[in-house]
């Protein structure tokens, strides 16, 4: 859930309300419409199925309305709360009363499943009832506190959207149980960490929703208690005291959720030591451990040591060593990138710097929409940057999207993030409006001391860099409009038809303030979008002497249907090639693509199965190619895909 930091003491900017912005056209409207009409109902069907996820069935058994044993994943409860968050947001945006009635029935079911002491996690409730050896808080990998955290956020949002406190009552009772648990643990000195710690953000959002200080105190305690965990692990980021963290390590989802929660705590109490931690781990991520697509958590299993090579632990879904960014085996769990967006959004409220929204936009336009099929009903768990025709080894997840994946945490997390995308359009401070993600939209904005006005944004972004802003409301005085100049933008202009400001390279990754923007004005931001070749740091070994192609905020890739070669391994980028825009229909959607040419290696003989062999080279031939946005890949026949390609020129 996005933050409600209107009253947070240490914020520099504030989000708008959930109903303020509506996507009106283009990329984001299409994505959100498909999310609402296809993805959200599709996920509901899976959660309702006792034969597939068994999630709703678990609640029914706990409530005494069905018979049977627990089924599905340990974290299914929390995943269902995430789906509820997506559904309630879409229902509010579309005034869908039937969907709200269904959500109310789910809230009632959850409340009937909850135990009198506030405990609510279906696996443990059924385990204790059936005396099968499963009990509450026996194993941190049972994800109970993760389930609690997503309950807190979903219940807070439900109250914000509907004014109903039925779900909030469930959440407050659960928080009361969590409070008692922490008090008992502190007395015994037996603190356990929580994997995928969604409860930090959840508790603070519960505090912001209820204004009850005990929830903030509980969030602070739960974060501080990490330092008391015995035999902490790099996997959970609790081997070192939190305030000593300087590198981002361990399980990527857990890390990003942790630091998003710490950022939330900073917004409330302003602990400068926590801010130093946030700055340090953020820099380590952005400078040395993030993928071009916004993906993070490069390794399925890897080591993430502080200190030397000989002191490390095996870590699952890991941030690896600096610059350890493989392509074929790139893990990049979708939930990790959702976590990075949540974290960056909170950092922006602490200090509104363009870098944070650059990361949000890169992730939201590239990795997250790539994690779901164009028709909205198949999903990736991991997000690779290269796919070979076949591999001599097996990866844990499928190389193509699936309708249902055993670890179903990513699809509902993705659905709620896309449903809430409109809240990333603007933030405000004083008499200033800050642009976040660009997209055709209408936003109702109210600044200090002025009546509300409607800010209209017209654009074909991210496919075109021309964005116009107009204000509706004849009595509106004026405001400052802070325009984000992305890092990739090194030329362009800003004009109101009278004055022109040129965009220069030194303005990239910053905000440009246009003062006294008022009703009747039309302001046009033009971000030039030439095709550009991107290279990686020399220590990113797999990308040595290779390049990727980007245009504007989009990363492009090439698939087998886009080049008439036996293998994309024979392809080299032509540094002098030019590209022209075109469109391609994929799964009923019009996808802007780039058409150009590249080089194909000519060989006299070549054995693709040999580990080593004599170099065979008979020159280069020019071949036509087509590049598609990375988010659109794996929506045609199965084949190769590459982002990074060797380069050549002649």
Query: Considering the domain boundaries, does residue 547 fall inside one?
Result: yes
Whether the per-residue pLDDT at 304 is higher than 70: the answer is no
3-state secondary structure of 517: strand
Q: Where in the sequence is the domain holding 232, given as residue range(s)?
A: 14-424
Query: Comparing 401 with 304, which gets the higher pLDDT?
Result: 401
Global pTM value: 0.97
Taking residues 33-59, what's their average pLDDT?
Answer: 97
What pLDDT does 110 receive? 98
CATH number at residue 420: 1.50.10.20
Q: Is the same domain home to 516 and 557?
A: no
Last residue of a domain, one of 472, 500, 527: 527
Q: Is the same domain home to 467 and 368?
A: no
What pLDDT does 649 receive? 76
Q: Is the same domain home to 463 and 417?
A: no
Q: Is the same domain home to 252 and 352?
A: yes
367 CB contacts (<8 Å, ≥6 apart)? Answer: 291, 293, 294, 295, 332, 334, 337, 383, 630, 631
Taking residues 261-287, what's their average pLDDT?
Answer: 98
Q: Is 31 exposed, middle or buried (0-12, 13-18, 19+ CB in 10 A)?
A: buried
User: What is the percent of the chain with per-residue pLDDT over 70, rounded to a whole number?
Assistant: 97
How high does pLDDT run on average in the chain? 94
What pLDDT does 3 receive? 67
Res. 475 pLDDT band, cuts 50 70 90: confident
How far is the C-alpha of 172 from the C-alpha of 114, rounded, in Å? 12
User: What stretches of 206-263 adopt beta strand conformation (E)?
Assistant: 250-251
Q: Is the same domain home to 286 and 407?
A: yes
> Which pLDDT tens digit goes with each residue over 523-545?
999 999 999 999 999 999 999 99
> Which pLDDT tens digit goes with each residue over 568-588?
999 999 999 999 999 999 999
Asked whether 14 and 6 are in contact (CB, 8 A), the reply is yes
Instruction: Tell me how many degrees the CA angle 157-31-446 measures, rounded to the nearest 5.
Output: 50
Query: Considering the domain boundaries, does residue 609 fall inside one?
Result: yes
Whether the per-residue pLDDT at 309 is higher than 70: the answer is no
What pLDDT does 187 receive? 82
What pLDDT does 86 receive? 98
Q: Is the same domain home to 321 and 226?
A: yes
Whether the per-residue pLDDT at 1 is higher than 60: the answer is no
How far is the C-alpha of 155 from the C-alpha of 164, rounded, in Å? 10
> Which pLDDT tens digit goes with each residue over 10-43?
999 999 998 999 999 999 999 999 999 999 999 9
What pLDDT does 186 receive? 81
Question: 557 forms bridges with which residues in the sheet?
Answer: 628
Q: Is the same domain home to 522 and 564?
A: no
Neighbours of 501 (CB within 10 A): 15
Query: Considering the domain boundaries, does residue 4 fall inside one?
Result: no
How far is the C-alpha of 343 from the C-alpha of 267, rounded, in Å? 12
Query: Comparing 522 with 309, which gets the higher pLDDT?
Result: 522
Q: Is the same domain home to 260 and 290?
A: yes
H/E stretch holding 617 reads none
Last residue of a domain, one of 527, 561, 595: 527
Asked whether 439 and 459 are in contact (CB, 8 A), the reply is yes
H/E stretch holding 478 reads none
Taking residues 325-333, what's their average pLDDT?
Answer: 96
Total number of domains constituting the chain: 3
What pLDDT does 18 receive? 87
What pLDDT does 428 receive? 97
Whether the per-residue pLDDT at 305 is higher than 70: the answer is no
- Weakest mean pLDDT among 133-147, 199-213, 497-511: 133-147
Question: 318 forms bridges with which residues in the sheet?
Answer: 251, 299
Query: Comparing 195 with 215, which gets the higher pLDDT?
Result: 215
How far is the C-alpha of 199 from the C-alpha of 195, rounded, in Å? 10
Q: Measuring CA to CA, which residue among 474, 441, 472 is closest to residue 459?
A: 441
Whether the per-residue pLDDT at 473 is higher than 80: the answer is no
Last residue of a domain, one of 471, 498, 527: 527
């Amino acid at each position: 859930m996005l933050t409600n930091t209107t009253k947070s003491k240490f914020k520099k900017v504030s989000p708008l309300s959930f109903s303020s912005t509506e996507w009106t056209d283009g990329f984001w409207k299409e994505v959100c419409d498909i999310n609402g009409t296809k993805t959200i109902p599709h996920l509901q069907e899976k959660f309702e199925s006792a034969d597939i996820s068994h999630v709703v069935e678990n609640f029914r058994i706990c409530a005494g309305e069905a018979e049977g044993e627990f089924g599905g994943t340990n974290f299914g409860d929390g995943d269902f709360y995430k789906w509820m968050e997506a559904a309630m947001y879409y229902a509010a945006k579309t005034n869908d009363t039937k969907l709200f009635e269904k959500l109310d029935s789910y809230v009632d079911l959850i409340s009937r499943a909850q135990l009198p002491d506030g405990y609510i996690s279906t696996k443990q409730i059924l385990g204790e009832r059936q005396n099968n050896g499963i009990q509450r808080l026996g194993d941190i990998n049972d994800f109970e506190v993760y389930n609690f955290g997503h309950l807190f956020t979903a219940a807070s949002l439900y109250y914000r959207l509907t004014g109903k406190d039925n779900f909030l009552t469930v959440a407050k009772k659960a928080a009361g149980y969590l409070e008692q648990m922490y008090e008992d643990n502190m007395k015994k000195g037996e603190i356990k960490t929580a994997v995928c710690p969604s409860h930090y953000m959840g508790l603070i959002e519960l505090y912001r929703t209820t204004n009850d200080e005990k929830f903030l105190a509980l969030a602070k305690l739960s974060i501080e208690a990490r330092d008391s965990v015995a035999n902490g692990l790099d996997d959970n980021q609790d081997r070192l005291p939190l305030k000593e963290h300087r590198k981002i390590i361990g399980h990527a989802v857990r890390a990003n959720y942790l630091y998003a929660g710490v950022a939330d705590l900073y917004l409330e109490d302003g602990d400068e030591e926590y801010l130093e931690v946030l700055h340090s781990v953020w820099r380590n991520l952005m400078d040395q451990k993030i993928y071009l697509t916004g993906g993070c958590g490069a390794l399925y299993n890897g080591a993430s040591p502080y200190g030397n090579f000989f002191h490390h632990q095996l870590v699952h879904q890991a941030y690896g060593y600096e610059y350890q960014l493989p392509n074929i085996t790139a893990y990049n769990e979708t939930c990790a990138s959702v976590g990075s967006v949540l974290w960056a959004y909170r950092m922006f409220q602490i200090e509104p710097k363009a870098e944070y929204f650059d990361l949000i936009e890169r992730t939201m336009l590239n990795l997250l929409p790539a994690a779901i099929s164009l028709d909205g009903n198949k999903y990736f768990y991991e997000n690779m940057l290269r796919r070979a025709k076949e591999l001599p080894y097996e990866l844990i997840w499928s190389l193509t999207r699936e309708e249902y994946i055993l670890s179903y945490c990513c699809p509902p997390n993705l659905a709620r993030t896309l449903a809430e995308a409109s809240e990333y359009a603007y933030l405000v401070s004083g008499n200033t409006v800050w642009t976040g993600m660009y997209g055709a939209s209408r936003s109702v904005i109210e600044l200090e001391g002025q009546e509300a006005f409607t800010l209209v944004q017209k654009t074909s972004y991210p496919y075109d860099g021309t964005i116009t802003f107009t204000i509706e409301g004849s009595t509106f005085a004026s405001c400052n409009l802070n325009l984000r100049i992305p890092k990739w933008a090194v030329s362009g202009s800003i004009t109101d038809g009278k004055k022109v400001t040129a965009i220069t390279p030194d303005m990239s990754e910053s905000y440009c303030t246009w003062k006294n923007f008022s009703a009747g004005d039309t302001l046009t931001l033009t971000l030039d979008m030439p095709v550009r070749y991107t290279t990686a740091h020399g220590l990113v070994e797999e990308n040595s002497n290779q390049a990727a192609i980007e245009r504007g905020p989009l990363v492009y890739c090439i698939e087998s249907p886009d080049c008439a070669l036996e293998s994309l391994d024979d392809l080299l980028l032509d540094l002098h090639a030019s590209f022209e825009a075109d469109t391609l229909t994929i799964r009923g959607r019009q996808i802007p693509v780039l058409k150009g040419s590249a080089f194909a290696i000519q060989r006299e003989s070549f054995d693709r199965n040999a580990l080593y062999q004599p170099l065979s080279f008979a020159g280069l031939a020019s071949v036509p190619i087509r590049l598609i946005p990375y988010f659109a890949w794996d929506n045609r026949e199965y084949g190769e895909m590459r982002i990074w390609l060797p380069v050549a020129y002649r």
